[in-house]
Structure 1
Amino acid sequence: MRRVIFLLIISGAGLAVLIGLGSWQLQRKAWKEGILATIEQRIAGEAAAQLPQALEPEADKYRPVRLTGDIGAEELHVLTSIKDIGPGYRVISPFTLEDGRQVLIDRGFIPVNEKQALRLTGPAEIEGNIHWPQETDSYTPAPDLAGNIWYARDTEQMAAELGTEPVLIVLRARPEGEADLLPVPVDSASVPNNHLQYAITWFSLALIWAAMTLYFLRRSRPNPKS
């Protein structure tokens, strides 16, 4: 009898923990969905006519802006791929604002065979979203500076390479006169929301735990023939 009571206590505690973790993940899912809705609302908001003087990554990330200035001739090429199109590069260029500030702009996607093509430079009006992509980790290769191939959008390193502020504006439309680049606007797809899968995992483990408990309880019953 003591063995059965002990088994029930351990099994009940384990089941409570697993169900609690599953419920917590459902709460996290609702919280993350709220964040994603806020991000989408900010991305699609009315574009401001100037760049904030003191940029804050937490407050200004995804903020839409419409700016006038000059697109520089320098380019950094970030290796990437787009579904149904294939491999290519994101083109990163410096952009000089009317007040003299310089920032990075992500102009969009080009196929591999257009790496050396001439693109729009000089005066332009751009529209996009302020961004600080987090794409690098300890496994990201260093950029091939000689071949002008980057493997992630590293805002700090790219800004140092082009002599701009460490801020990126991802264009959501082509500037007038730009024909070949395919804009790749920011969206919330890069923000993971795997909490439903985690919840299902914890609830599945709770179900397995309960089944194992029933199995051991049946095994622990006295054999009437013995």
Structure 2
Amino acid sequence: MSEHRTVTGKAGGTRGKAARSPSLWLTVLSLTAIALLIALGVWQIERRAWKLALIDRVEHRVHAPAVPIPSAASWPTITAANDEYRHVSVTGRFLHDRETLVQAVTEEGPGYWVLTPLLRSDGTQVLINRGFVPSERRDASTRRNGNPNGQVEITGLLRMTEPKGGFLRNNVPQHNRWYSRDVAAIAAARGLHEVAPFFVDADAGSQIAGGPIGGLTVIRFPNNHLIYALTWFALAFMLVGRLFVTFGGGLFRRKRFVHEPAGGSDAAARRTGSDAGTIVEPT
């Protein structure tokens, strides 16, 4: 009676198993990345809700009837979230000899914003962005007819100060070069006192013939959060799919086994590799 010996393709089977089983650190890293991508997607959804609420709030402020600017006592509590873009009105007398020109690019082309202090009856001052002038009208002497000397009422939008400067360009007060509407720096350079910590963008209704062009405030809030959220979720889904293929793909592969009787003509041809089955060899 002959003995039978069973030989299995150990080397091939081991390699196949290793190919289907990623290392522990790679698995942990993948799961962490998936959690992070999902968290980023959720965060972008929350940012989108915040941005939509902001846009709605600003729209209501811009189109609301003008109200007097906040009292001097409340100036320390003014914030962008609660007050920026409010439609306000203010009365006083312009100090044209202390105006400041801030470089600007508008729908009218390149030029300058004209910021002029407005002296109020209580002695406080508010910087008014009267509007835009092209480079050829930079000199105040070219627009004297547009500079009223008496009391005026200005309506416009309350804007927060813009400290330090513009994009990659710092204000240089000593050389009278301004790239942003930095209220504190302009007040210091012009010797102004009791100045509001904000400025007012004059609207088109406050424009005076021969003066700067008002009403050019640009209100734009980029809202690409939904696209970002879908991108993060898509990346997470792709990574989940990759892990599924890596771990679960083997469940759907049909295993092949080769059973050869003892003494068979092909018994000596041993099959090896990842698909090696059971080979029965005679002694």
TM-score (norm 1): 0.80
Q: Which moved more, 1:48-57 or 1:110-119?
A: 48-57
TM-superposed deviation, 1:97? 1.5
Is 1:108 the counterpart of 2:108 in the alignment? no
Gaps of 5+ in 2: 1-16, 256-272, 277-283
User: Aligned to 1:122, what secondary structure does the other structure show?
Assistant: coil
Matched positions, count: 223
Q: Deviations over 1:14-45 (max 9, x none)?
A: 33431232122112211221122112212222
Q: Relative to structure 1, is the Cα distance of residues 105 and 151 closer, same or farther in structure 2, using a 3 angstrom cutoff? A: same
Please give the residue correspondences for 1:1-226 in structure 2 after superposition, counting only pairs within 5 Å.
Answer: 3=21, 11-54=30-73, 55=75, 56-58=77-79, 59-73=82-96, 74-83=98-107, 85-116=108-139, 117-118=142-143, 119-123=146-150, 124-134=152-162, 136=164, 139-143=168-172, 145-146=174-175, 148-162=176-190, 163-164=192-193, 165=195, 166-175=197-206, 177-186=208-217, 188-189=219-220, 191-213=221-243, 216-217=246-247, 225=275
TM-superposed deviation, 1:184? 4.1
Q: Are the aligned partners of 1:72 and 1:121 in contact in 2 as well (CA < 8 Å)?
A: no
Q: Are the aligned partners of 2:207 and 2:214 in contact in 1 as well (CA < 8 Å)?
A: no
User: Aligned to 2:170, what secondary structure does the other structure show?
Assistant: coil
User: Aligned to 2:157, what secondary structure does the other structure show?
Assistant: strand
Q: Relative to structure 1, is the Cα distance of residues 136 and 204 closer, same or farther in structure 2, using a 3 angstrom cutoff? A: farther
Q: Relative to structure 1, is the Cα distance of residues 16 and 36 closer, same or farther in structure 2, using a 3 angstrom cutoff? A: same
TM-superposed deviation, 1:94? 0.6
Percent of aligned positions that are identical: 30
Q: Match for 1:78: what amino acid?
A: V
Q: Are the aligned partners of 1:22 and 1:199 in contact in 2 as well (CA < 8 Å)?
A: yes
Q: Relative to structure 1, is the Cα distance of residues 100 and 183 closer, same or farther in structure 2, using a 3 angstrom cutoff? A: same
TM-score (norm 2): 0.66
Q: Root-mean-square deviation (CA), in Å?
A: 3.2
Q: Match for 1:210: what amino acid?
A: V
Q: Relative to structure 1, is the Cα distance of residues 207 and 100 closer, same or farther in structure 2, using a 3 angstrom cutoff? A: same
Gaps of 5+ in 1: none
Q: Are the aligned partners of 2:106 and 2:216 in contact in 1 as well (CA < 8 Å)?
A: no
TM-superposed deviation, 1:153? 1.1
Q: Relative to structure 1, is the Cα distance of residues 141 and 14 closer, same or farther in structure 2, using a 3 angstrom cutoff? A: closer
